[in-house]
Amino acid sequence: VRHLVVVLGDQLDADSTAFNGFDPARDLVLQMEVIEETSYIPQHRKRIAYFLASMRHFRDELIARGRRVHYVHIDEQDNTGRFETEIARAQRRFRPSRTIVVEPGDWRVAEKLRRLPQMPEIRSDSHFLCSREEFAAFAAQHHRPVLETFYRAMRRKTGLLMDIAGRPVGGAWNFDAENRKSFGRTSPSIPPRPACPPDAITTEVLRLVAARFADSPGKLDGFDLPVTRTQALAQLDAFVAERLPRFGDYQDAMRSGEAFLYHSVLSGPLNLHQLRPLEVVQAALQNTTVPLNALEGFTRQIIGWREFVRGIYWQRMPHYAEANTLDAELPMPKFYWTGETDMRCLAEAIGHTIDYAYAHHIERLMVLGLFAMLLGVRPYDVHRWHMSMFWDAVDWVSLPNTLGMSQHGDGGIVGTKPYAASGNYIHRMSDHCRHCRFDPKKSIGEDACPFTTLYWNFLDKHRKRFVANVRMKNQYANLARKDAGELRTIRRQAAGIAEAVT
Ligand code: FAD
Ligand code: SF4
């Protein structure tokens, strides 16, 4: 064998840089299912099945393109269970003159490769629109890199949603103010996503996961995730035609019994590189009937947030993972694994997670993440829970979003202020409070909403740190209206909540 081309589980792109100069006659692809990747953190069974089924389908796609693949199955007797030992084993067996791999998304995996006795050639990852080097240059130019500046630079660089004079289409960079509608008392009609019924390969994987990962969290039944590029493209087409037009308006809305609403549900195929970010945004821009607030909002998530958090991750690791600016030390509440809580909003969001390995952004940020931050849970533990429970979770995207954006553990690198809110926010954006035994307006008493109690307690507890933050001026002005007696009672009630749930 001339080149051994290693393809990791989240690098399923047949046109990636790993295949530059690939010679089918002399080169060999190595794909590995290793137990360590399914067990270093407990994992949702749908997530394990999604990765394995996608990898096996990708193997067949490569073979159909005439490339030779050495595929190591998880239950093979000689499988050593770790990337580094499997690569070394393949190097001993096939004696390649060179081993090639695209730079891994995870810092942990990159470290493993760095320590291999026979170092591979690491190729840069062309999946992303902003390379690590470009982001480093951007960060060096800005004292405090923020999403908005980065996003504008990405719009200019790609020309997406820019007019010929180099100005943003519609005269503004951002239409967020139009993207905060809730459903009120109306019942939205939501077009269903195209079905992805398991074929023979996926069915075999589902059997394997059911037998081997019986103790892992999450429901396996009803598996319906896109496991090939073709299926992912069909999901993209349906999203663009049917749900994107209302994506902007209802981007932040929540609704009982509805996990997906008008979201794209494309983070999995994007993170496994079955879809490319540019093609996804270009597909969206082709639907000329979509309002600008939806197009801009969707574009910002993909060329803005997604690239920005990756840049921060690679710029800040490994220290980033240890950040805990707010000294939050509580463990994750146990009900996050079961959904057994009287708090309707949390029961609903955790239920979606258990059923589908999915919750949309606002459920992740303003329900699941918000409660953990207000309570004072260790940020890395919140990240670990996210890694366990979501189909799309990979370290480079989960860590900055969870530890940074949702827990403010990084002290303001990803977001300039904590996403702190009371139950009133959830009441405004969902129908959950109407079905809940708590009252979002109350912070004291038997029926006080735990979010609201913990919100005032959070502002009070971190007064020194945030009182001078101009973006939190109104929040602190409202806190100032509370007298000492009320604050004492809130503190006592907040301590009681923490004791009851952890
Ligand atoms: P849509 O709402 O349809 O958005 C379109 C696409 O934009 C997504 O598919 C995704 O690729 C991208 N995107 C949107 N927001 C972000 C963001 N903040 N960061 C990066 N990309 C974004 N996303 C993951 O892919 N993996 C994770 O592990 C993950 N963990 C998260 C944890 C927390 C606490 C929070 C607040 C967010 C997290 N996100 C994560 C970001 C975002 O919530 C998901 O990408 C999104 O909910 C996926 O659903 P969707 O495909 O329907 O997204
Ligand atoms: Fe959630 Fe509070 Fe509303 Fe209940 S009242 S659903 S706990 S925000």
Sheet holding 98-102, edge to edge: 69-72, 28-32, 3-7, 98-102, 121-123
Which of 92, 123, 154 represents a domain boundary (last residue)?
Answer: 123
Q: Can you give the three-state secondary structure of 6-58, one letter per residue?
A: EECCCCCCCCCHHHCCCCCCCCEEEEECCHHHHHCCCCCHHHHHHHHHHHHHH
Whether residues 162 and 262 share a domain: the answer is yes
Q: How far is the CA of 401 from the centre of ligand 1 (A)?
A: 8
Whether residues 149 and 106 share a domain: the answer is no
Residues sharing a CB contact under 8 Å with residue 354, sequence separation 6 or more, in sequence order: 217, 218, 219, 338, 339, 389
Ligand nearest to the CA of 347: 2
Average pLDDT of the chain to the nearest whole number: 97
Whether residues 119 and 136 share a domain: the answer is no
Supply the residue whose CA is at minimum distance from atom 1 of ligand 2. Answer: 345
CATH number of the domain to which 443 belongs: 1.10.579.10
Whether residues 259 and 400 share a domain: the answer is no
344 in contact with ligand 2, CB cutoff 6 A: yes
What length is written for the chain? 502
Ligand nearest to the CA of 443: 2
Which of 88, 123, 158 represents a domain boundary (last residue)?
Answer: 123
Q: DSSP for 258-301, please give it.
A: BSSTT----HHHHHTTSS-HHHHHHHHHH-TTS-HHHHHHHHII
Give the pocket of ligand 1 (CB within 6 Å): 263-267, 270-271, 301-302, 305-306, 309, 360-361, 364-365, 369, 386, 390, 392-393, 397-398, 401-402, 405-406
Q: Domain for residue 328, yes or no?
A: no
Whether residues 37 and 186 share a domain: the answer is no
Low pLDDT (below 70) residues in the chain: none
Ligand nearest to the CA of 431: 2
Q: How far is the CA of 440 from the centre of ligand 1 (A)?
A: 27
Name the residue with tokens 């971190």: 462
Which structural domain, as residue segments, surrounds residue 298? 132-197+215-316
Q: Domain for residue 329, yes or no?
A: no
Whether residues 117 and 139 share a domain: the answer is no
Whether residues 100 and 159 share a domain: the answer is no
Q: What is the pLDDT of residue 134?
A: 97
Q: What is the pLDDT of residue 449?
A: 98
Two tokens, residue 438: 């708590």
Q: Where is 406: in which H helix or E strand?
A: none
CATH number of the domain to which 51 belongs: 3.40.50.620
Supply the residue whose CA is at minimum distance from atom 7 of ligand 2. Answer: 343
Q: What is the pLDDT of residue 462?
A: 98
The model scores a pTM over 0.95 = yes
Q: What is the pLDDT of residue 185?
A: 87
**Ramachandran assignment for 273, one of left (phi > 0), alpha (psi -120 to 50 degrees), beta (any other):** left
Whether residues 495 and 466 share a domain: the answer is yes
Q: How far is the CA of 302 from the centre of ligand 1 (A)?
A: 9
Atom of ligand 2 nearest to the CA of 343: 7
Rounded distance between C-alpha atoms, residue 319 and residue 307, angstroms:
20
Whether residues 277 and 426 share a domain: the answer is no
Q: DSSP for 349-372, please give it.
A: HHHHHHHHS---HHHIIIIIIHHH
Ligand nearest to the CA of 436: 2
Q: Domain for residue 357, yes or no?
A: yes
Q: Domain for residue 113, yes or no?
A: yes
Whether residues 82 and 170 share a domain: the answer is no
Supply the residue whose CA is at minimum distance from atom 38 of ligand 1. Answer: 401
Supply the residue whose CA is at minimum distance from atom 2 of ligand 2. Answer: 449
Q: Domain for residue 210, yes or no?
A: no
Cα dihedral sign, 454-387-50-67:
positive
Phi and psi (nearest 5°) for 24? -60, -25
427 in contact with ligand 2, CB cutoff 6 A: yes
Q: Domain for residue 322, yes or no?
A: no
Can you point out the beta strands (E) in 442-494? Answer: none
| Total tally of structural domains belonging to the chain | 3
Q: Domain for residue 237, yes or no?
A: yes
Whether residues 82 and 184 share a domain: the answer is no
Q: What is the pLDDT of residue 188?
A: 83
